[in-house]
Amino acid sequence: MKKTHTLFLPAVAVALLFTACESPEPPAPERTADERIEIMYLANAGYLLTSGQHKVLIDGLFREGIEGFASLSFEAREPVETASPPFDTVDVVLATHHHADHFHPGAVCRFLDSNPLAMFISTQQALEQMRSACSNPVSLAGRVHVGLSRDGTSVPFVLDELRIEPAFMHHGPASPVENIGFFIEMGSTTVLHMGDSQATAEDLRAADLGDRAVDLAFMPYWYLIDPRWETAITEVLQPNGIVATHIPPPGSPKLESLQGWDALVRTIRNRYSAVVFAEPFETRTF
């Protein structure tokens, strides 16, 4: 039987972020500070996760990105790259894959220089780009890690109550791009960030990912609007909550076939009651 966890959401957050319903949920039991998780949205699929004494920055260190998807301005990304508060106490930086709207080798190198205690975990493809981008790659020895070995074996990372386990979730069945999903256990909350996964229910079952309890899943928007991925959500991952990622910003040409930003967000919220972050540095606590 699949193990389940309960994700407690403050009544105010439920009212603001989820599709309104006629009978609002009763107030959830109060959670301690170590049980809550704070999520700060940066851009596209980039987030800062904070729980207790630990912080994880995932897919947030990129620059211009890819046309049609959200990115931070130069001024907005400066405090991130230079590890200014609240990024100065980040424990681990994660990048799901090497695409320019999730990762920039120069941005990661600069952050690691600015925050000498942070670790970095990503794909072999991303690390190969960093070898030529970092001014002093030798100084990063012991701090930069490949999430999956060449045979696909996961290499978990554990720091006190923080546990990070990578899992291969392909970027497309024939794509040469290495895409890692990350299961992140912070306190009593398990988060899954899928990057640009296109893994189907069958792919996830084959990777033995159907028995993982997921409190909050960060999913690219295509999972939430396309029936091809419905069973991956409802039958395999079965998350208690969903954050929609990779949504093109208002005015993006990527929205032309999706009837615009408002229509896309409305569809996502109606189908899955998913949380959608719209503004850089917008923060919610769960």
pLDDT of residue 31: 61
pLDDT of residue 30: 61
Listed in sequence order, the residues at least 6 apart from 54 whose beta carbon sits closer than 8 Å to its beta carbon are: 91, 159, 160, 161, 162, 186
pLDDT of residue 58: 98
Nearest to 105 by CA among 138, 83, 123, 130: 130
pLDDT of residue 198: 96
pLDDT of residue 18: 28
Residue 259: is it exposed, middle or buried by C-beta count within 10 angstroms (0-12/13-18/19+)?
exposed
Residue 119: is it exposed, middle or buried by C-beta count within 10 angstroms (0-12/13-18/19+)?
buried
pLDDT by residue for the chain (286 residues), tens only, comes to 333 332 323 322 322 232 333 334 444 446 666 678 999 999 999 999 999 999 999 999 999 999 999 999 999 999 999 999 999 999 999 999 999 999 999 999 999 999 999 999 999 999 999 988 888 777 788 899 999 987 888 889 999 889 999 999 999 999 999 999 999 999 889 999 999 999 999 999 999 998 889 999 999 999 999 999 999 999 999 999 999 999 999 999 999 999 899 999 999 999 999 999 999 999 999 9
- Percent helix, percent strand, percent coil in the chain, to nearest 5: 30, 20, 50
Domains and CATH numbers, the chain: 36-285 (3.60.15.10)
Q: Are 164 and 93 in contact (CB under 8 A)?
A: no
pLDDT of residue 33: 65
